[in-house]
Amino acid sequence: MSKDYLNLLGLAYRARKCTLGEELIIRDIQSKKAKLILLANDTGPQTTKKITDKCNFYKVPLLVVDDRETISRAIGKSGRVAIAILDQGFATKITSLLD
């Protein structure tokens, strides 16, 4: 897995094109603002199911990435397990870096 996406994730966060927090992410998925969801691979089963089900229902792409510590460090916040990308350009580039 390419680590280049972490730099882009940090840039997207600083550009205010990300949503953090489970309830805010769910809201953005439902309102179709979220273009991509990044989920840490060590997220708990209940949160994973909730976010995965919402993404499947609303047809929002979901990618499982590194552990929570790695993605939290990329955006400068602690304990983040999910991040919603709100900009299509960032979402497309991050997806291409992770494929």
Query: What pLDDT, on the 0 to 100 scale, is given for residue 2?
Result: 60
Number of domains composing the chain: 1
* Dist. CA 51–CA 2, nearest whole Å: 24
Separation between Cα atoms, residue 85 and residue 29, nearest integer Å:
10
Residue 1: pLDDT above 70? no
| Domain membership of residue 27 as a residue range | 4-98
Distances (CA, A) of 25 to 3, 8, 77, 97: 23, 19, 16, 22
User: pLDDT digit string (tens) for 16-58?
Assistant: 999 999 999 999 999 999 999 999 999 999 999 999 999 999 9
Query: Which pLDDT score is estimated for 25?
Result: 96
Q: Is residue 89 scored above 90 in pLDDT?
A: yes
Q: What is the CATH number of the domain that holds 34?
A: 3.30.1330.30
